[in-house]
């Protein structure tokens, strides 16, 4: 079964902007996919569809299927249990006073067990992202890198099968970026990562999808797509330097 | 980030007042405030003196400097004065304007003392124990959490404006301020939408 199946997905915002124009692709379980594209290409809009935050009233027309379940109002809860969405601005996601409360929010909402069980989940997911012992810390006093990790822990606590990340390494310092990437690599879930960090795409994702003007421009092996200088420049991207080290000429 | 004026948790000194259960502190504070507010105009002086002495003892025990509390009281004084002036000018209330000034100041002092000896997350838990409606608690929690974010955002906008302001003038400053406030409002409502989305993504039941 496909982890994700999108067929002819269209979306138009209220102001008339056509954000997605017939997007179709499939993701197999266990894949790690980089979603690239210039600003305003429709990446974030696409990601919001994966968790049922868009469209406003999902009709269940089968344009988006997650592990075989079509996106419809009736199965939103089931879909949100399977898809973990990490937002771009950690301050949008961390809304509880302490880290432990925030990480526990998802499992509590989804009714995943008794308080003791949830506390165990919180501990486990904090350890997974390298924030063991941060339970009682105030969320607004964390560093940016720590906030990112706390956000990810909050999503991992729901044990999603599909992990969707919106620009996870933007405004992290080089060390934060390196550590975050190393941690992402250890997570077994199927991953879709929207990013401008081309090194991340090369290092983590075997497959890349390039989106521009709400359409899929290319879908294929990361090292091949990113080495195509003409394609990259045409869509606001560039050939990353890291490729020189992977394929010495 | 740690030295801003609004940052009450955690308070600088550890004391037995700080270690008391938040539910007790909140209960005592609410009782004191309620009794003070409801105290009849006649014969209130002994109660006020007793309460002031009690608060002084707590202040001494908590290790919070009196100056710190007075500064904050001063900040809130315009509101107290507003109420006092309105009352002093009222045809019937001329006699109790002093009582109202004292009442308001004592209540404010009690609130500040509670807030500065109790970490915010403990206060929220105490409210839960006291069965305050969940919606109200969520609202308070979110407000506390995003005050910091909004404050930082306002500060960044102010700085960006200041860096491009070449003609200092009062009229221009007021104009700039009003547009910053407007922008902040728009940004806050957009952020609220994103926060709501993020909450829904983790299973928040909206419908």
Between helices B120-129 and B22-38, what is the axis angle to 10°? 70
Q: Which residue of B has its CA nearest to A101?
A: B121
Q: Which residues of B129-158 are buried (b: 16+ CB within 10 A; e: fewer)?
A: eeeeeeeebeeebbebbbebbeeebbeebe
In this prediction, residue A231 carries a pLDDT of: 92
> Shortest CA distance to A136 belongs to which of B145, B5, B119, B6?
B119
In this prediction, residue B5 carries a pLDDT of: 39
Whether residue A143 lies within 8 A of chain B, CB to CB, comes out as no
Q: What backbone torsions phi and psi does residue A56 show, to the nearest 5 degrees?
A: -60, -40
Flag if A80 and B201 touch (Cβ within 8 Å).
yes
Task: Count Cβ atoms within 10 A of the Cβ of residue B52 and give its class: 0-12 exposed, 13-18 middle, 19 or more buried.
Answer: middle
Peptide bond just before A55 cis, omega within 30 deg: yes
Tell me the three state secondary structure of residue A213. coil
Matching residue, tokens 């952020």: B191
Flag if B202 and A158 touch (Cβ within 8 Å).
yes
CA distance A5 to A8: 10
In this prediction, residue B95 carries a pLDDT of: 60
Flag if B194 and A89 touch (Cβ within 8 Å).
yes
Tell me the three state secondary structure of residue A3. coil
pLDDT in tens, B188-204: 888 888 998 898 888 88
Confidence of residue B9 (pLDDT cuts 50, 70, 90): very low
> Which chain A residues touch B141 with a CB distance below 8 Å?
95-97
Flag if A87 and B194 touch (Cβ within 8 Å).
yes
Contact B115, B8 (CB under 8 A): yes
Q: Which residue of B has its CA nearest to A112?
A: B203
For chain A, domain boundaries:
4-246
Q: What percent of chain B has pLDDT above 70?
A: 86
Flag if A95 and B9 touch (Cβ within 8 Å).
no
Put simply, whether the predicted model's pTM sits higher than 0.90 gets the answer no
- The dihedral sign for the CA sequence B195, B196, B201, B204: positive
Flag if A97 and B120 touch (Cβ within 8 Å).
yes
Q: Which residue of B has its CA nearest to A77?
A: B203
Confidence of residue B13 (pLDDT cuts 50, 70, 90): low
Alpha helices in chain A (DSSP H): 43-50, 76-82, 90-93, 99-109, 115-128, 144-156, 174-186, 198-204, 222-227, 229-234, 242-246
Whether residue A89 lies within 8 A of chain B, CB to CB, comes out as yes
Mean pLDDT of B140-146: 88
Q: How far is CA A74 from the centre of its chain?
A: 23
In this prediction, residue B144 carries a pLDDT of: 87
Q: Which residue of B has its CA nearest to A52?
A: B201
Which of A85, A89, A140 is facing B201, going by the closest CB pair? A85
Which of A51, A89, A94 is facing B201, going by the closest CB pair? A51
> Residues 36..75 of A with a Cβ closer than 8 Å to B: which?
48, 51, 53
CA distance A19 to A41: 7
User: Has residue B82 got a pLDDT over 70?
Assistant: yes
For chain B, domain boundaries:
16-129, 134-201
Contact A154, B198 (CB under 8 A): no
Confidence of residue A25 (pLDDT cuts 50, 70, 90): very high
Decide yes or no: CATH 3.30.200.20 for domain A4-246: no
Please state, in angstroms and as integers, the Cα–Cα distance from residue A45 to each residue in A194, A211, B5, following that order. Answer: 11, 11, 39
Size of interface A-B (CB pairs under 8 A): 73
- Which of A100-109, B3-12, B78-87 is modeled with the greatest confidence? A100-109
Whether residue A113 lies within 8 A of chain B, CB to CB, comes out as no
pLDDT in tens, A155-200: 999 999 999 999 999 889 999 899 999 999 999 999 999 999 999 9
């Amino acid at each position: 079964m496909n982890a994700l199946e999108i067929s002819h997905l269209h979306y138009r915002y209220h102001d008339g902007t056509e954000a997605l124009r017939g997007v179709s692709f499939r993701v197999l379980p266990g894949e790690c996919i980089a979603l690239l594209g210039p600003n305003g290409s429709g990446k974030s809009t696409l990601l919001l569809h994966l968790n049922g935050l868009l469209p406003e009233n999902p009709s269940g027309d089968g344009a988006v299927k997650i592990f075989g379940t079509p996106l419809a109002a009736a199965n939103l809860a089931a879909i949100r249990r399977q898809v973990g969405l990490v937002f771009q601005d950690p301050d949008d996601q961390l809304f509880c006073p302490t880290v432990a409360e925030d990480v526990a929010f998802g499992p509590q909402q989804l009714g995943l067990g008794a308080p003791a069980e949830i506390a165990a989940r919180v501990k486990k997911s904090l350890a997974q992202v390298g924030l063991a012992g941060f339970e009682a810390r105030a969320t607004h006093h964390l560093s940016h890198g720590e906030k990112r990790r706390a956000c990810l822990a909050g999503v991992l606590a729901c044990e999603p099968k599909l992990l969707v990340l919106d620009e996870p390494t933007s405004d992290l310092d080089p060390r934060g970026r390196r550590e975050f990437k190393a941690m992402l690599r250890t997570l077994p879930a199927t991953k879709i990562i929207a990013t401008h960090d081309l090194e991340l795409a090369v290092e983590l994702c075997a497959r890349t999808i390039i989106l521009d003007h709400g359409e899929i421009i290319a879908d294929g092996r990361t090292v091949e797509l990113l080495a195509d200088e003409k394609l990259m420049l045409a869509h606001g991207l560039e050939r990353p330097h890291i490729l020189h080290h992977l394929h010495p000429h | 980030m740690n030295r801003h004026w609004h940052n009450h948790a955690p308070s600088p000194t550890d004391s037995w007042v700080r270690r008391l259960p938040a539910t007790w502190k909140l209960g005592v504070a609410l009782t004191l405030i309620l009794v003070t507010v409801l105290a009849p105009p006649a014969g209130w002086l002994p109660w006020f003196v007793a309460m002031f002495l009690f608060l002084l003892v707590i202040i001494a025990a908590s290790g919070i400097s009196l100056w710190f509390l007075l500064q904050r009281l001063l900040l809130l004084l315009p509101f107290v004065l507003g109420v006092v002036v309105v009352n002093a000018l009222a045809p019937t209330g001329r006699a109790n304007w002093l009582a109202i000034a004292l009442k308001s100041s004592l209540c404010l002092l009690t609130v500040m003392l509670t807030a500065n000896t109790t970490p915010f997350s403990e206060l929220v838990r105490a409210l839960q124990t006291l069965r305050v409606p969940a919606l109200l608690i969520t609202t308070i929690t979110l407000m506390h959490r995003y005050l910091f974010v909004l404050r930082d955002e306002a500060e960044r906008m102010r700085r960006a404006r200041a860096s491009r302001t070449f003609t200092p003038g009062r009229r221009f400053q007021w104009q700039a301020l009003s547009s910053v406030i407007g922008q902040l409002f728009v940004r806050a409502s957009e952020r609220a939408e994103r926060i709501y989305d993020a909450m829904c993504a983790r299973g928040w039941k909206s419908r």
